[in-house]
């Protein structure tokens, strides 16, 4: 499991004139959406839905995630879910970690734990105590 995270994202956007994308406004729209909406907590939430909500095409969103948010749609969504999880857990430390993980949109415990460990470098139980 030696996955390098330092490799640059593939530059496969030649078909698109990047100068026509207002990255600042797309990035602001993405950040605001995740702060103000909880739609991303639906486990079935997709890039198509985000595109529809923001009225920004999927390619522009993907490029913005990769080039400006240094992530991709799934990673960004799951990191946001982890932050939401942490907030809920702090309000109710006795809540079931598994129940909260599913409430936050994770389809599996393994995905939840993977992103949790990546974000906080500990287990959820260690965060509570």
How far apart CA 103 and CA 66 sit, in angstroms, is 27
Instruction: Look at the block and give the residue holding tokens 């006795």.
Output: 94
pLDDT of residue 65: 96
For the packed helices 23-36 and 73-91, what is the interaxial angle rounded to 10 degrees? Answer: 30
The secondary element (H helix, E strand) that includes residue 7 is: none
pLDDT digits (tens, 9 = 90+) for 90-127: 999 899 999 999 999 999 999 999 999 999 999 887 87
pLDDT digits (tens, 9 = 90+) for 9-66: 444 555 567 788 899 999 999 999 999 999 999 999 999 999 999 999 999 999 999 9
């Amino acid at each position: 499991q030696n996955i390098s995270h330092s490799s640059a994202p593939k530059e496969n956007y030649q078909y698109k004139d990047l100068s026509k994308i207002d990255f600042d406004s797309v990035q602001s729209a993405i950040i605001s959406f995740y702060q103000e909406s909880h739609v991303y907590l639906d486990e079935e939430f997709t890039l198509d839905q985000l595109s529809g909500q923001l009225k920004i095409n999927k390619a522009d969103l993907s490029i913005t995630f990769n080039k400006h948010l240094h992530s991709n749609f799934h990673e960004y969504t799951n990191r946001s879910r982890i932050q939401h999880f942490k907030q809920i857990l702090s309000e109710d430390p006795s809540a079931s970690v598994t129940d909260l993980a599913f409430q936050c949109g994770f389809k599996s415990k393994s995905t939840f734990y993977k992103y949790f460990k990546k974000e906080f470098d500990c287990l959820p139980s260690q965060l509570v105590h």
